[in-house]
Amino acid sequence: PSDVRADEDGKQPTVIAHRGASAYAPENTLAAVDKAAELGIDWVENDVQRTKDGELVVLHDDNLRRTTDVEEVFPDRAPWKVRDFTSAEIARLDAGSWFGHAYADARVPTLKQYVRRVEVHHQKLLLEIKNPDLYPGIEGQALKVLGNEGWLDRRHLAGRLIVQSFNAASVRAVHELKPGVKTGFLGTPPVADLSAYAAFADQINPSYGSLSKGYVSAVHAFTGPHGRPLEVFTWTVDTAATARLVAGYGVDGVITNKPDVVRAALRGF
Ligand code: G3P
Ligand code: CA
């Protein structure tokens, strides 16, 4: 509705393709990045884990079962944890057939392959560090890959990269290792705790179910480590009605598996 504005500044929320455009292509694969680009979506979200030989790969779960054919290829390697497989072994897996036959060639990308593809499309990256307790030092390692790929230069730091995690210590570690990198904390901390988060996080990124207009306004009242108001990116919003609801709350970003649906819903806000 035209009487509801997206936020207090009248700025339309950023649309972020969750695990890529994952309603239309297998999540966290290069195909899902390509699909987001094809839809004209310039932000993609991904999840990062670490292999046995120390390579960072893009995968949501800490095991390979749900989104690859690992049980067929390595039947005796239960429970099929990412950290128990080398990157060469993971590269053999089909990460697309579970989603659809057309994607049988999809692989679990390394973080390096992933950021290269994002760069090809001139997209922006919301990188989630997953399960940092399982992978000591993953923050520094992710930053190293990003740096090697040119993602820590001025152009990328000025609005093309955000690193987020559900683990506050991990978000703080990223901030302390590379203070120029924009960071997000995934969750809904009590308002009383927000000043502590504002020391190291630029964003507070809650599930939409835990949001209210009052909470978004409360977050916006704090100033983040880069001297700007804390932002709110919410997840995972896949219907037009919910997209309009959270836009009415004043969120800065909407993370969605269906970025085309959300973008259409927010047009005109
Ligand atoms: O980007 C936020 C969202 O991805 C967090 O939940 O489980 O989908 O990684 P999850
Ligand atoms: Ca995620």
3-state SS class at 168: helix
Ligand 1 pocket test target in 28, 67, 127, 235 with most atoms within 8 Å of CB:
235
- Binned at pLDDT 50, 70 and 90, residue 210 comes out as very high
Ligand nearest to the CA of 43: 1
β-sheet bridge partners, residue 128: 47, 164
Tens-digit pLDDT profile for residues 13-64: 999 999 999 999 999 999 999 999 999 999 999 999 999 999 999 999 999 9
Residue among 130, 41, 228, 12 at smallest CA distance from 33 = 41
CB 240 within 8 A of CB 2: no
Q: Whose C-alpha lies nearest to ligand 1, atom 4?
A: 18
pLDDT at 1: 39
For this structure, is 122 an active site residue?
A: no
- Name the CATH code of domain 14-62+109-266 (choices 3.30.1860.10, 1.20.1050.10, 3.40.50.10210, 3.20.20.190): 3.20.20.190
Which residues form ligand 1's pocket by a CB distance below 6 Å? Answer: 18, 45, 47, 60, 128, 186, 235-236, 255
Report the atom number in ligand 1 closest to the C-alpha of 47.
Answer: 9
- The residues spanned by each domain of the chain are 14-62+109-266
| Rounded (10°) angle between helices 30-38 and 111-120 | 20
CA of 97 to the centre of ligand 1 (A): 22
CA of 3 to the centre of ligand 2 (A): 32
pLDDT at 9: 56
Q: What is the ipTM of this complex?
A: 0.99
Ligand nearest to the CA of 186: 1
Query: What's the rounded Cα separation, in Å, for the pair 27 and 96?
Result: 9
Q: What is the pTM of this model?
A: 0.96
Tens-digit pLDDT profile for residues 154-191: 999 999 999 999 999 999 999 999 999 999 999 999 99
CB-based burial label for 75 (10 Å; 0-12, 13-18, 19+): exposed
CA of 109 to the centre of ligand 1 (A): 18
pLDDT at 207: 98
Percent residues over pLDDT 90 in the chain: 95
Mean pLDDT of 109-127: 98
